[in-house]
Structure 1
């Protein structure tokens, strides 16, 4: 419990102080952000996708569905998470463009931005909950999950703050921090059924995939390929090494 609490507090530090990491706010895109994006992509392909298959088997066992249909349902949940966060990102873009035309301000409307903060808080709370309830209970698996999510939060929070720094620095970061500690605390007191955890994991997996793609792939980000590749390669090597040691 104390280890996962320390990890949750590290997430909180990112939420609260990402705005002070001035070396990230450069053009072209910071090498560190591209490195973090590479790690997040490695997490998607080496953890999220394999675990979705595992949760599909659980879904089929608990509901009595055929294996193929159960896996499709789990991937549909992941698609729903991706679609939800894509819709929020589009709403932010449309709102910012509209406000720029009306007022000359490059900021989304407050209501739209707060909707994004609330949705992000739910995603963050689930991630913090999974610190105590994951498919892979090993110490190595927990450390890799924590490292990937910590770097993911750096990238995601930096992007969120860029959309509306005034609200993020005022109350937004505290809402995200409260969601982190609330999710962790819930994980220490409530053990959801395996089926529910699988559904939550599938949903947040889609959201994480969208955030990673949104932050790294658009041309205007001017992302750096070599740090991105190093991040993905290093994370892949750590995952494969941890699996080899565990199965030796």
Structure 2
């Protein structure tokens, strides 16, 4: 399925480069589609990625006993929590930076915070590109479901990053995030690593997705829709359970 994964990687790249042109991204108040997208991402995390972490943990028993990574065998979910905390810290730094420039008509984060934010999301995208190849899918449908869940998640992330960093995101950020997908895919396609690395990357991704979805859904100014969120969550959950 290497060619299918490459096509999906190009799909991710297209989302980052052209999501700004989507009509739904220009809808104010916030498009209901973005709430549906959040529901889809959460459903994928809780019904696919989290159960997979449990499998990883079982498979790792005894594999790391002679290394400094022994704790991962029993605490894989700790990595997921670290992923959540890392992205929470990033969002907090962005909020603090924007408050300092609130006197400006369109406040945005300081350039240093922008680069910290973008570098972190570049690594985040690289992990997704890598897992697009290295994740163990039962069939092409499994990879397709991953693509759909992460694709709509990228649309939501793009909306948030563009609103936070304005022209800096379009000038630099989206290109770096798009490139990170292809770099991650290339590493996954041409190298093979131990299962514990895949398990750590998956766990970190889980924490990141959960935080990034919730920070887009919960703030009052987002004008998100509970009905749309639940529609995406329930419909995608049914799809995951049936396939």
* Residue 3 of structure 1: aligned partner: 4
Aligned pairs, number: 238
Q: Distance in 1 between matches of 2:138 and 2:111?
A: 40
Preserved CA contact (<8 Å) 1:52 1:74: yes
- 2:107 is paired with a residue of what secondary structure? coil
Superposed CA deviations along residues 181-231 of structure 1, whole A, max 9, x for unmatched, are: 101111110111111110111111111111011111222211112221111
Give ranges in structure 2 of 5+ residues lacking alignment.
none
Q: Distance in 2 between matches of 1:189 and 1:3?
A: 15
TM-score by length of 1: 0.91
* Residue 142 of structure 2: aligned partner: 141
Q: Distance in 2 between matches of 1:94 and 1:72?
A: 36
Q: Distance in 1 between matches of 2:144 and 2:23?
A: 27
Q: CA RMSD in A?
A: 1.6
Q: Distance in 2 between matches of 1:148 and 1:174?
A: 21
Q: Distance in 2 between matches of 1:105 and 1:153?
A: 24
Following superposition, the deviation at residue 240 of structure 1 comes to 0.7
Q: Distance in 2 between matches of 1:213 and 1:22?
A: 23
* Residue 89 of structure 1: aligned partner: 91
Preserved CA contact (<8 Å) 1:59 1:198: no
* Residue 162 of structure 2: aligned partner: 161
* Residue 24 of structure 2: aligned partner: 23
* Residue 132 of structure 1: aligned partner: 133
Superposed CA deviations along residues 148-180 of structure 1, whole A, max 9, x for unmatched, are: 011110111111111112111111111111101
Give ranges in structure 1 of 5+ residues lacking alignment.
243-248
* Residue 245 of structure 1: aligned partner: none
Q: Distance in 2 between matches of 1:29 and 1:52?
A: 33
Matches for 1:47-196 after TM superposition, within 5 Å: 47-64=48-65, 70=72, 72-101=74-103, 103=104, 105-196=106-197
Preserved CA contact (<8 Å) 2:42 2:213: yes
